[in-house]
């Protein structure tokens, strides 16, 4: 059975949580573990911080005051750290419509993308607002808990294609398009992956990207939806570098 995971950023240094010490979890995470998952005293679980550390332990005590929040007291067994996933693939992709946006972010997190940033181009249809981006952070947390990811997927603010291309520090640019060649073996890190909108790139945008040093790459034989293309391309880049 998969171990239950809880998300909680830690105020103290992870290496200060020595085996045998205790940490308390309150609120919705504690309620979910005790009431929904039916975990009891002695049950193992893992606390992920989203910044590379995971705290493993067992439930030592469960409290539910007559008024107040559920509280779990966790006895630490060990603290482990993980490096960021390599290569670091930073995805700049147009936002798909409706529920497909959350699905894309969830799946990008699962396959190992370092970040996703909404990309604005000539044929952009959806420009997510700040409140939507805030909700997507919760999606990254739930995805990390599900897949055991040590570092949360980072969510960026909307940016225009020309601004991405103009960044002087930007290197290893790949732009997805059916006119491109095969995906290169051994993706360099960090890598910037550009995924266009539903209507595709304009000829001017492709020309601008190539003049900025981007390599045009085809990631499949069929025309894909935005969310499919972003996840498939990221997965291929990570897989080619294993």
- pTM of this structure: 0.89
How many CB atoms sit inside 10 A of residue 116's CB? 28
Give the pLDDT of residue 1.
57
With beta carbons less than 8 A apart as the criterion, state whether 91 and 117 touch.
Answer: yes
Give the pLDDT of residue 56.
93
How far is Cα 72 from Cα 233, in angstroms, rounded to an integer? 41
Give the pLDDT of residue 15.
67
Pick the CATH number of 4-81 from 3.40.50.12780, 2.40.240.20, 2.102.10.10, 1.10.10.60: 2.40.240.20
Give the pLDDT of residue 159.
94
> Measuring CA to CA, which residue among 71, 92, 86 is closest to residue 23?
71
Residue-range domain boundaries for the chain: 4-81, 89-240
Q: Any idea how long the chain is?
A: 242
Give the pLDDT of residue 137.
94
Residue by residue, pLDDT tens for the chain (242 residues) are 579 999 988 766 766 778 998 999 998 999 999 989 999 999 999 999 999 988 999 999 999 877 778 899 999 999 988 899 999 999 999 999 989 999 999 999 999 999 999 999 999 888 888 889 999 999 999 999 999 999 999 999 999 999 999 885 567 899 999 999 888 787 888 999 999 998 899 999 999 999 999 999 999 888 899 999 999 999 999 987 75
**N-term to C-term CA, the chain:** 27
Pick the CATH number of 89-240 from 3.40.1280.10, 3.40.50.720, 2.60.40.420, 3.90.1150.10: 3.40.1280.10
Element (H, E) at 161: helix 161-166
Cβ-based neighbours of 39, under 8 Å, separated by 6 or more: 4, 33, 45, 59
With beta carbons less than 8 A apart as the criterion, state whether 78 and 221 touch.
Answer: no
């Amino acid at each position: 059975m998969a171990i239950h995971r809880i998300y909680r950023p830690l105020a103290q240094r992870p290496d200060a949580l020595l085996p045998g010490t205790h940490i308390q979890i309150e609120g919705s995470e504690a309620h979910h573990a005790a009431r929904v998952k039916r975990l009891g005293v002695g049950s193992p679980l893992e606390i992920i911080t989203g910044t590379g550390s995971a705290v493993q332990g067992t439930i030592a005590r469960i409290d539910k005051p007559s008024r107040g929040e559920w509280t779990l007291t966790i006895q630490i067994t060990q603290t482990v750290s993980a490096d960021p996933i390599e290569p670091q693939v930073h995805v700049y992709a147009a936002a798909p419509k409706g529920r497909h946006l959350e699905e894309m972010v969830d799946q990008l997190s699962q396959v190992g993308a370092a970040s996703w940033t909404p990309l604005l181009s000539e044929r952009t249809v959806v420009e997510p607002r700040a409140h939507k981006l805030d909700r997507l952070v919760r999606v990254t947390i739930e995805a990390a808990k599900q897949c055991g990811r040590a570092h949360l997927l980072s969510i960026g603010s909307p940016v225009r294609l020309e601004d991405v291309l103009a960044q002087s520090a930007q290197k290893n640019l790949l732009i997805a398009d059916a006119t491109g060649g095969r995906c290169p073996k051994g993706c360099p890190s960090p890598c910037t992956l550009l995924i266009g909108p539903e209507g595709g790139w304009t000829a001017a945008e492709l020309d601008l990207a190539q003049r900025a040093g981007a390599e045009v790459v085809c990631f499949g034989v069929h025309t894909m939806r935005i969310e499919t293309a972003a996840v498939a391309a990221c997965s291929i880049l990570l897989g080619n570098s294993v």
